[in-house]
Amino acid sequence: MTATPTATPADVTIKRALLSVSDKAGLIDLGRALSDHGVELVSTGGTAKALRDAGLDVMDISDLTGFPEMMDGRVKTLHPKVHGGLLAVRNNPDHVASMDEHEIGAIDLVVVNLYPFAATVAKGAEREEIIENIDIGGPSMVRSAAKNHESVVIVTDPADYARLIAEMAEKAGGTSYDFRRMCAAKAYAATAAYDSMIASWFAFADQGEMFPQTLAVASTLSTTLRYGENPHQSAALYLPTSPSANGIAQAKQVQGKELSYNNYNDADAALELVSEFRDGPPTVVIVKHANPCGVATGDTLIEAYEAALACDSVSAFGGIIAVNRPLDGPTAEAISGIFTEVVAAPGADDAARAIFAKKKNLRLLLTGDLPDPARAGLQLKTIAGGVLVQSRDNGQISRDALKVVTKREPTPQELDDCLFAWTVAKHVKSNAIVYAKDGSTAGVGAGQMNRLESARIAAWKAKDAAEKAGWSAPRTIGSAVASDAFFPFADGLLAAVEAGATAVIQPGGSIRDDEVIAAADEAGLAMVFTGMRHFRH
């Protein structure tokens, strides 16, 4: 049996509109446009006052319902004369009869944006004020109007006012079904995101849960990207609707072509690492494919950049750079010496901007304050059939927390280099080995299937860097080496000895720790345990 095609609902002429908004942007222009089409305006509280102050005729919601707004405005739109006017199916005789019997007038347009719950949380309000900013009547009207979108228009985003006005101009005061359907989809997304914010606040902030029974996550589309990690993949950037730390997603792009998926991913990796040094000396991080290939501190940014570049100038080509200080002219000039995809900085002076302006494809991102590396948060990773969720790796180790396990204690300089190498290793894909000396990476070994190979690769990179720079010896000589997890055998440590390292920092915890410690003692190394590992996959 063939189903009978359903006719597309007709255009609907707007005769009565209900407006109730927290964000008054664009309200008056919309109210005037509706009035020009002869639409009766019904409104609540501050919205009615704003429209009336602009000289527009407005019916108070209490005149529509026959009940006053009460309980500090908590009860004003939760009434049959509101929801009956929204939910009634206009071509259903029983519904029409009920409307006639109870003197319920149809409402053809609802314009609502909800109480500013997220903004209230973000400003650090007390619990009572946060609770009062949970909107009840607004979401109820939104959902009623959206359900009955065959006959009712629901607008929740001030950015859509202009589109509504244009639609009504084209349709002689009416709207098309396609427009109403689009608005309904946005409306349900808006209430879902709103409820998600509230659920998240209750779970994490109010109840102190780490993993609530239901994890409500909502994000808003920021932009679609040219493609994903590879050209055959699609990609987009979404921003969280709940308050969150600012980062690359919120950075101001001063110049350069559109950021790609890989640009965002690599720039985020660079920013997260350089943020570890936000209270330290001038620091430069160079990242390639989400792994740091050079990190250094210095008395000035340009000194730090030159030291970071020297670690692996080959990988730095086409890389991502992040700095922990406002960018200056000399550093920008030095960076311009090789092809760089993205530079992220808290700020940039006029000289730096002028220099980069000559590199039209280079993206300059200004981040403002750097994110707190110790902040809490969750990380999500999709797997087939599910989502893995974990807390951020915000673990940090103080000098006092280190445990010396060898006969020789590290010198103050070795200890500084150990902590520097350890901080960088936290941001290197596992298995990770990082050699560092005098506040600079000497060699980085990333992403190998065994730790020995990572140690060898890092040492080889250090030798290659020395040859390119014309140094008499690689910077691994006299360096400290960090391992993101324990050495399961002594072979990885012995590779570091061969490379010239004199100090080691690692988590410890292997069943062969005694063997590894004995090898370190025999080689005259100083070794400290952190008791914390930093796997990064």
Which residues participate in catalysis according to the annotation? 147, 289
Residue whose entry in the numeric block shows the structure tokens 């002689």: 172
For the chain, how big is the Rg over CA atoms in Å?
Answer: 31
Residue 92 makes CB contacts below 8 A (sequence gap 6+) with: none
72 — phi, psi (to 5°)? 55, 35
Cα torsion 416, 420, 426, 432: sign: negative
DSSP string, 225-278: -S-SSSTTS--EEEEESS-----GGG-EEEESSPPPHHHHHHHHHHHHHHHTTT
Take residue 423 and report the two structure tokens written for it: 């901080």
- 87 C-beta neighbours (distance < 10 Å), count: 18
Q: Which residues of 315-353 are buried (b: 16+ CB within 10 A; e: fewer)?
A: bbeebbbbbbbebbbbbbebbbeeebbbbbbbebeeebb
| Distances in whole angstroms, Cα of residue 52 to Cα of each of 58, 112, 273 | 6, 17, 54
| Distances in whole angstroms, Cα of residue 306 to Cα of each of 62, 145, 148, 225 | 70, 61, 64, 33
Asked if 434 and 447 count as a contact pair (C-beta separation under 8 A), the reply is: no
413 — phi, psi (to 5°)? -70, -40
Helix (H, G, I), strand (E, B) or coil at 119: helix
- E-state strands within 386-446: 386-391, 403-404, 433-437, 440-445
Asked if 34 and 17 count as a contact pair (C-beta separation under 8 A), the reply is: yes
